[in-house]
Chains A and B, each alone.
Chain A
Amino acid sequence: ALLLLFCSLRMKGLPVLSLLLGLCFFYFVGIYLFVGGFLLVRLEVNRTSSCGDVLQPGEEPVDFCRVQPRFRRAVLLIIDALKIDFARFDPNNTAPRPYENKLPVLEETASSRPSHSRLYPFRADPPTTTMQRIKGFTTGSLPTFVDVGNNFASSAILEDNLIHQFGQVGKRVVFMGDDTWESLFPKKFYRSLPFPSFNVKDLHTVDNGILQHLYTTMTSGDWDVLVAHFLGVDHCGHRFGPDHPAMADKLTQMNGVIRSVIDRLQNDTLLVVMGDHGMTDNGDHGGESQKETDAAIFLYSPAPLFAGPPSQNELDVVPQTDLVPTLALLLGVPIPYSSVGQVLLPLFPPHGQKEGTVEGLSQLEALWINAKQVNRFLETYSGMAKDIPPESLSRLKEEFNRLSSEYLTTVRFGRSPSPELAASLQAYLTSVRDTCRATWARFNPVKMAAGLAILAFACVLCFILSEFSIDLLRETGPGLKVPVIMALTAGGCVAVGQLLTQGYIEVAWSLAAVALTSQLLFLWTASRCRTTAVAKNGTKTQKWARCLTARYLLIPPVVIPLLRCASLLSDSYVIAEGRVVTFLMFSLALYIPIHLNWDGLLLPPIHDPLKSAGLLPSPGLSPSTVRKESSTLLACIGLLVGSLYLSLSFHGCREEQGFCQPSPFLSPLSRLQDSQLKNLHYVLSIFSLGLWTYLLRRCLRHYGNLNSSGGTVFTARWILPLLSMCLGLHWAVSATPEDSFRNLAELISLAQLALPRAAFCLLGLGLVLIWLDPLTVFVKTRAATSTRGSSLSPPRYRASTGISPQAELHHLIPQIYQRMRRSLNDGEMSRVSEVDSRPAVEAYGLGTVYSAPLLLFCGLLGIGLLLLHPEGMALSFLLLLLEMGALLHIQASSTTLSGGFYVPWTPIVMWSFAATQFFHATGHLPTFPSIQWGAAFVGFPDGHTGTILPASLVTLNTFASHILFAVSCPLLLFWPLVCEVRGSRGGRACGEEGEDAVMEMRLRENPKQFSSALLQLSTRYLFIHGAQVFASVCAAAILRRHLMVWKVFAPKLMFEASGFLVSSLSLLIGVTLVLRVDIAVGHWFKRIIPDTSR
């Protein structure tokens, strides 16, 4: 009966998996929604306009660029963060603030020569950061954070832009100032004088550098377009804020600059003075408030520029995109392909006045050219992407067709055009821009809020599940289906509602409805479960209360994750993340022995009369065991701390960290010049690779998992060493300098192709074999034992001859296990009674049946991931393995010392921090430039045709530590059981010994406990990662106007979210593997029973 129970008891795999999947789904939906509202994505159109595009209707084809343009030259003075308030002049203001009335030259010129100059507010589109703005007013488009099609590695603008067009028609563009331009337009300038823009505290380097060259360049005449980008005002704002005397000095300096530039202008030159964005009262920018978006633009020319003095119906605000078509048409170049701007009409003469002194295009012609270009862009874009709503697209198209036919008839018959035509062309252009802006340039606060809410609920659910997994798992059978069905119905309702009201479905909102409904229902179910559980036994009522008291919340395993989450809200801590995580890990590592000592568990109890009198709970462990476990614990903590400290030397450097030197191990071997150093590095890498392999095999052999002949054992015996050999050879080949073995060049290139591919194949084969045949148990009947010789003592049994064979088998397992150990160790053990008249079964490695395949899986995966890294990272991977082992042993020892079956928070927190720590210690950083692109070319030196394979290789490389730690997470549960036997060997009574050495079979004995412990472990792990994602999402939402949002917080959010994605998937893989093993063990027992009962 006992054995029947033993075999029929299966852990509840399905509920565990489905609950985990549900949780992951919530997180994914939350991240998807938030990112959808926060990161605006736009496809780049890689087409360029050419002179032939811009043909006037009804005339013989003339090259547009040959026609004499209105202005031959232009000067663009860009004053970074020149807010409109800075540029206005109020003569009645007697006590101006430091930033007021400091640019009188603009007002003077505008009032003294009204037809030559004008000052407008110049409205930027968010994100109001300098790089995005430069993109905006050169391409005429609305750049978003992620412009898809842009290659991440370099930031050069690939879209059609003004600078490119100037170059096409042979204009000499001279640039000076902010070096961002140099990276955006590499090699596009006729002459370029960039100055470093990075140091925000430096107010003068860039400006003084420009002023040294500006006037001489202007008078030399060796230019057609002169771009000067001043940074002083912006840096002054960041450093002191606008309301500071330094700002007054800076603006006064700019006033002088503008004045002298105006004095040096010639008649054929247009001057544009403009700010790229504004600033808040604190001097920051990046967001979408009016203070940040409203810059100033001042247009001036010595030749008359405007048709007349400013009229009443003058435009009050100039959108930033409008500069592009205006400048293009005034200077006689085609409008860049993807511009959505609209020409500034006041700068063009009205129709009919063309025959005056002013040359160039009339208002209507300019508008027509503009509208045609915008329509062409819209058609191209809507062919590529579907993010512009189709019905507004069709409306815009109809409008254009109507206007174009009207215009063409007007021109063909030479009629004077109606003023309505110009107005409706303008209206068309405005509506195009508004449509595009609604799609690309606005945060979607509703989506962001929904994403935040879903993430918050997911975190709460995760926490509840992890704390009360035992209660909840009992109830989940029918309780799961109702919420899922309800949620799907809600999602369907939302989809149908959208279909009815808007005519199309936005998937995000339906998913949001599904997630929110099911979350709320789950929460409700959970609370109901709790109340019923409380009703059953009233003792648990204190649990909720206990969770909220200060004493429970102030313990380090809670405080340190909180600190970690809080650190994600500050840019300095995100920049120093690698060190911050290591610091926190180290604190937790020190906390473990201190806590154990505080509970009096670290040292063997001193025997005094009080204890024996029962005042203290008498410990169940003998002093020698305690001493042994404590010393193991301390040694492991030493190992952990050592590897933490050493791992700091593998960090890369962010550009914000000024004095940092990236680790020498990060560069590939082939780049090292010194051959001795190269050899040293190679030997070190090979040594760590060998040690990695050896340690894994040693561990498996130690627990008797290398005896059988299944797939897993085959993998461990042959594939693991072969894989590491492949890797070592691959390193050797890729490190050989190209010119040293000329005659072997072909062979080397072949090896570079074949070796990594062979490694990939071996890795795949190994993983599949482990999956198919995960058992590492070697079964041997006793007959075989006796033939092997007398050196092995006959199998021992418990004194249990009278019981049924099934029950005997149940007890046999531990005995078998002990026997196996003894035969391996040759250690002496106290002999129990020996009965040797019956055939028996021996099972080697049954005690580690769950952990062995998982360990091997991780080991193989680790070598595979190492393949994608630079060679020097082998040391870091070895540290990773050592740290993993140390953590596991710490967990095992502290479990032995303090007891308990479930995994407490501290080791899980450390486990998940270790993932982040080794993310940094393998040379990764949460920034886009630091992605190791080389990983995509391992085994594919000639590049790829598709994008999926390189993308997944780079993902595997980037999140290697996340993958390893997540897959191996269930080991935290198994390891205390694996190490259990050591503790029991001490001074136990002999009768208890067998029961104690069950190892992982204990999990099979209590499948319910097993599944709830597994669920708890994975939800806790998910919770910690999820809380970090939530914190970085909050950081991005709260600090979306921060100076560093696009440099620090948004990339951090992307990396954290993708890290979570990868971790949760790997965790699911790990858990599924455990369940797979469980099923295999179940089959194995079924196979065994008939053998023994016969």
Chain B
Amino acid sequence: MWDHEIRAMASTHAIIAASVFMATVLPAVTIRGFSVYGTHLLWLYSVSGTVTAVSVAVFWLLGISPPTKKHTLGYKLSRLFRSCVYFFLSCLFFHTVVVLYGAPLIESALETFSLAVLLTSLTTLRCLCVLGPNVQAWIRVFSRHGAMSVWDTCLQITVACTVVGAWVGAFPIPLDWDRPWQVWPVSCSLGAMIGFLTGLVAAPAWIHYHRKQLTYKCK
């Protein structure tokens, strides 16, 4: 039914996944002493920066963001500004949630905030790209009958996978194995990343297998 869209989605996801891969491998080749555990913050920044840039570029090229009512430059700028503000607010929101979940409040605030940035670039940024800076629409999308296009369903799946991945990533922290990846926030960010990649694969596959059952209201 939406073969074309599914194919577009799969290729988009392939590009994003490849960019994540490159963001991990390239610094490892170019920067001395780079490793995912050892210089974790660097990896975090590299990955979140790449994902942000690539997602924005790909979704802008695809042009699935909601149609804007006005085409004036000022309106576009204000939209851009609002998006940036939402991005920052979402970072703060994730930071708060992670601290409430039990992350140290003061000691490793930078690490926690970096994790929040990563989570934001994996989830909120996608919402921004697909739905625009419109919180009402975001809330609407995450309900059973809220998805209005294939991209909305895809958004549901990837965001859920990322968040669950980060949640599951917190499990190994209390264990007494003394592994380098048990250090805060390595396991959580790895979990979020793995969840995100799983979501990238799962979303097109799930939509493909359920394409008969999916019905969307027209926008």
Contact = CB atoms under 8 A, between A and B. Distances in A.
B142 A579 contact: no
Residue with the highest number of chain A CB atoms closer than 10 Å, among B139, B143, B144, B170:
B143
B174 A575 contact: yes
A183 interface: no
A131 to B, nearest CB: 21
Given A579-B102, A580-B174, A586-B100, A610 B143 contact: no
A597 B142 contact: yes
B170 A570 contact: no
Contacts of A597: 139, 142-143
B142 A583 contact: no
Given A570-B175, A575-B174, A579-B174, A600 B101 contact: no
Interface in A632-684: 641, 644-645, 648
A654 to B, nearest CB: 12
Interface in B21-63: none
Interface in B169-219: 170, 174-176, 217
Most buried by B among A573, A583, A641, A645: A583
Contacts of A571: 176
Q: Is the interface of B mostly helix, strand, loop or mixed?
A: loop
Interface string A566-577: 000011110110
B145 interface: yes
A992 interface: no
A344 to B, nearest CB: 41
Interface in B140-176: 140, 142-146, 167, 170, 174-176
Nearest to A611: B145
A1010 to B, nearest CB: 32
Contacts of A598: 142-144
A582 interface: yes
Interface in B101-150: 101-102, 139-140, 142-146
- Centre residue among B143, B144, B145, B174 by max chain A CB count within 10 A: B174
Contacts of B144: 598-600
A96 B102 CA distance: 50
A576 B175 CA distance: 9
A464 interface: no
A610 B175 contact: no
A582 B102 contact: yes
A598 B101 CA distance: 22
Contact of B167 (A575, A587, A603, A616): A587
Interface residues of A, number: 26
A616 B142 CA distance: 17
Contact of A586 (B101, B145, B175): B101
A594 interface: yes
Nearest to B100: A645
B104 to A, nearest CB: 11
A793 B143 CA distance: 47
Interface in A595-609: 597-600, 602-603
A598 B144 CA distance: 5
B102 A583 contact: yes
Contacts of B140: 603
Interface in A541-583: 570-573, 575-576, 579-580, 582-583
Nearest to B173: A576
Given A572-B174, A572-B176, A598-B144, A603 B139 contact: yes
A571 B174 CA distance: 10
A166 B176 CA distance: 42
Contacts of A610: 217
Contacts of A590: 97
Interface string B88-102: 000000000100111
Contacts of A579: 102, 174
Contacts of B176: 571-572
Nearest to A571: B176
Contacts of A644: 100
A879 to B, nearest CB: 15
B143 A648 contact: no
A519 to B, nearest CB: 34
Contacts of B143: 597-600
A597 B174 CA distance: 32
Contacts of A648: 102
A829 to B, nearest CB: 33
Contacts of A580: 174
A570 B176 CA distance: 10
A360 B193 CA distance: 76
A599 to B, nearest CB: 6
A610 B148 CA distance: 14
B145 A616 contact: yes
Contacts of B97: 590
B209 to A, nearest CB: 16
B100 A641 contact: yes
B174 A576 contact: yes
A582 B102 CA distance: 8
Contacts of A616: 145
Contacts of A572: 174-176
Nearest to A579: B102
Contact of B146 (A582, A586, A600): A600
Contacts of B102: 579, 582-583, 586, 648
Given A579-B102, A610-B217, A648-B102, A600 B145 contact: yes
B161 to A, nearest CB: 14
Contacts of B167: 587
A40 B132 CA distance: 66
A571 B176 CA distance: 9
Nearest to B145: A600
Contacts of B175: 570, 572-573
A872 B82 CA distance: 46
A572 B179 CA distance: 14
A583 B170 contact: yes
Of A570, A594, A597, most buried by chain B (CB within 10 Å of CB) is A597
Contacts of A575: 174
B124 to A, nearest CB: 16
Contacts of B139: 597, 602-603
Contacts of A586: 100-102
Contacts of B174: 572-573, 575-576, 579-580
Nearest to B168: A563
A90 B134 CA distance: 79
A598 B146 CA distance: 8
A580 B176 CA distance: 15
Contacts of A600: 143-146
A594 B101 contact: no
A597 B142 CA distance: 7
Nearest to A644: B100
B215 to A, nearest CB: 10
- Choose among B100, B140, B175 the residue with the greatest number of A CB atoms under 10 Å from its CB: B100
B134 to A, nearest CB: 14
A604 to B, nearest CB: 12
Nearest to B144: A598
Nearest to B105: A645
B146 A583 contact: no
A111 to B, nearest CB: 44
A120 B156 CA distance: 69
A572 B167 CA distance: 18
Contacts of B145: 600, 616
B2 to A, nearest CB: 21
Nearest to A570: B175
29 contacts: A570-B175, A571-B176, A572-B175, A572-B176, A573-B174, A573-B175, A579-B102, A580-B174, A582-B102, A583-B102, A586-B100, A586-B102, A587-B167, A590-B97, A594-B142, A597-B143, A598-B142, A598-B143, A598-B144, A600-B143, A600-B144, A600-B146, A602-B139, A603-B139, A603-B140, A610-B217, A641-B100, A645-B100, A648-B102
Q: 3 tightest CB-CB pairs across the interface, nearest first? A: A576-B174, A600-B143, A572-B175
Given A576-B174, A603-B140, 7 more contacts: A571-B176, A572-B174, A572-B176, A594-B142, A597-B139, A597-B143, A644-B100
